[in-house]
A and B are shown apart, each in its own frame.
Chain A
Amino acid sequence: MERVASQGILTIDFWDVGQGDCTVITKPDGSLIIIDVGPRNSPLIDWLRDHPRKRISDVILTHNDSDHIGAIPALLEARSVGSWNVWLLQDGPRTGRRQQAVVKLLTPLKRAEVEGIIQVRGITKGTTIWTDPHTGSYLDIIYPSELDKVLSHESPNLGSAILALMHPKGKMVIWPGDNTVRRTLEERPHGMLHTLFGPHHGGPEDRTRSSRKTFEKETHEIAAENAQISVGKNSYDHPNLRYLTYLRKAGCQISCTGLTRLCDRRIKTRKAGHHIMNGSALLGLRRTSTGFACRGAKRLTITSEGIFPDKYEATHREAVQALTHPYCMPRETWSKKRPQITQPPS
């Protein structure tokens, strides 16, 4: 049995799956809770195949977008035996190709349910998915209620489930999926927010739905100590600069899984394999093979004493100094090095 299991501690791995979300919680008995499985090319599948003894107990899908559920058919093919729970959200209606995508991606779940491999459960506020007797932590669904599901049909992102892992010492980790900062703020339980995952790959919809002032105020009020943003190569301008700035001003330590042109204007000249920090490989996880990692994966360890980050935080802070625009750092610390233009002698 591996060391994590024998020590009776809990680990949370935020995976680097490119533009998508995936978190794996390893319970003290070694079994896994997976929150979102990532896109079609999610590296989680290869990792699970190479660790056949890892048992899945629950898979929670915050909502039915392909960057969160894209790897479901491959996951079912890789783990076609056993019995695990899949927590699903009946989210907003989609039309045309988007609906066809959801149907196609979730059809293997339907087959697996008929064969008795999985049990499908509905995501509803107030449900405790799991309680850890060792650390006293518990994983709760804090949004949406049955009524919220009806009211949030405007957009699938706005109906996205919000999960919270609560520690008995009053700290918590929150997964808002693709929901908004405002909704997370409204629904979050009392206590200190240790880590906020995202939301929406660092581009919450508040940026278009709220005024700048409100967005900044709510980002400040959510008071996250750390923010882990899963971002990869994308055409949506994720992460959002304003959101990163507001988080940083609120005293939050930000780390993004992937590097984008936003933070490194010289990204096109970067050679393959030269990451800022490959947290995935350092932690023994996999990452998506495209693009460059900035922080890569991140691990939190939870004991009865509290929630602890992995040892690479300081290494990452140092490594991002090499970037042209490291928005996770205060502007004063950005490198002042600019190409020197030599003046011709007069």
Chain B
Amino acid sequence: MVLDLPPPQKAEHNSANERFRPPAPITRAITPFDPSSGFLQTISFRKSYLALNGDREPMRLLEEPKILIDRGLNIAKLEGWGISVDADKLSAIPREMARRFMKLWQDVEHNRLSEEDQGNWEHIVSTVDMDAFYLSLSQPRYLEGQRAGGDLQAHVRWPDQDQSERVPDKFLGEFSLLDPGEWFGAYFRFDLEGKITSVERLVQIPPPEADLWNEWPAKVY
């Protein structure tokens, strides 16, 4: 299902806000309708997010897509996406965009993207925030680390980092079972900046055993 998430609105305390406001239109005219230009009109599609898979995987648009409408043929085309709909069914465009994105994405992932779709995919990659999309797809990752910090703050020291990283306070409960200096394994999620956003299935593990490595590598052929 395709949902549209409205942009966040800043609350203001003035009497004008209390009056009824009609919902913002989802399109905005870029060029006026002009019969002399061959019944063509360009409008921009005022969407910033499309939701895939029941809103679990948001697709953030980096710029407003442009719709070219041919009033003579009654066709609307989404520029660069390879999508055409009836000009009087513009509300179908979000669903078509999501469908098109999913198809091309799967085609390119499995190396079967056709030459005709290549241009569309290049346009889509430059107008969709692919980092955020892939981040939403990623599963929790198993990592091992060492608890640091005191009782009131949890810090994690990853094996490949010299500096410890502070864990957000909302995960203090998970880490409270560990004493500072103890090693753990858990499934983590991270945001675009690499900060921890979730911790699952945290268990205590033994510290690195140097003795284990006396005979390393064990089997070198």
A residues bordering B, Cβ < 8 Å?
2-4, 39-41, 43, 45-46, 49-51, 66-67, 70, 73-74, 77, 88, 90, 97, 100-101, 103-107, 110, 113, 119-122, 271-274, 278, 280-284, 286-287, 289-290, 315
Contacts and interface: CB of A to CB of B under 8 A. Distances in A.
Contacts of B144: 73, 104
A66 B160 CA distance: 5
Given A66-B160, A278-B125, A289-B192, 10 more contacts: A73-B143, A74-B142, A121-B220, A122-B221, A272-B132, A273-B62, A280-B130, A282-B125, A286-B134, A289-B194
Contacts, number: 122
Nearest to B159: A104
A289 B130 CA distance: 9
Given A110-B212, A282-B108, A273 B132 contact: yes
Contacts of B109: 50-51, 284
Contacts of B134: 43, 46, 286-287, 289
Contacts of B121: 282
B125 A281 contact: yes
A51 B110 CA distance: 9
Nearest to B192: A289
B144 to A, nearest CB: 6
A2 B141 CA distance: 27
B170 interface: no
Contacts of B132: 272-273, 289
A83 B158 CA distance: 28
B112 A105 contact: no
Nearest to A46: B138
Interface in B20-65: 60, 62
B194 to A, nearest CB: 5
B110 A278 contact: no
30 contacts: A2-B111, A3-B110, A3-B111, A4-B111, A41-B194, A43-B134, A45-B141, A46-B134, A49-B139, A67-B160, A73-B144, A74-B141, A74-B143, A101-B160, A103-B208, A103-B213, A104-B208, A110-B213, A122-B217, A271-B62, A272-B192, A273-B62, A273-B130, A273-B132, A278-B126, A278-B130, A281-B125, A282-B122, A284-B111, A287-B134
B4 interface: no
Interface residues of B, number: 47
B162 interface: yes
B156 to A, nearest CB: 11
Contact of B60 (A90, A100, A273, A290): A273
Contact of A107 (B108, B110, B192, B208): B208
Interface in B187-204: 190-194
B135 interface: yes
Contacts of A280: 130
Nearest to A113: B218
A100 B208 contact: yes
Given A40-B143, A41-B190, A122-B220, A284 B159 contact: no
Interface in B88-105: 105
Nearest to B134: A286
A290 B110 contact: no
B125 A39 contact: no
A129 to B, nearest CB: 12
Nearest to A18: B194
B111 A113 contact: no
A289 B135 contact: yes
A48 B193 CA distance: 22
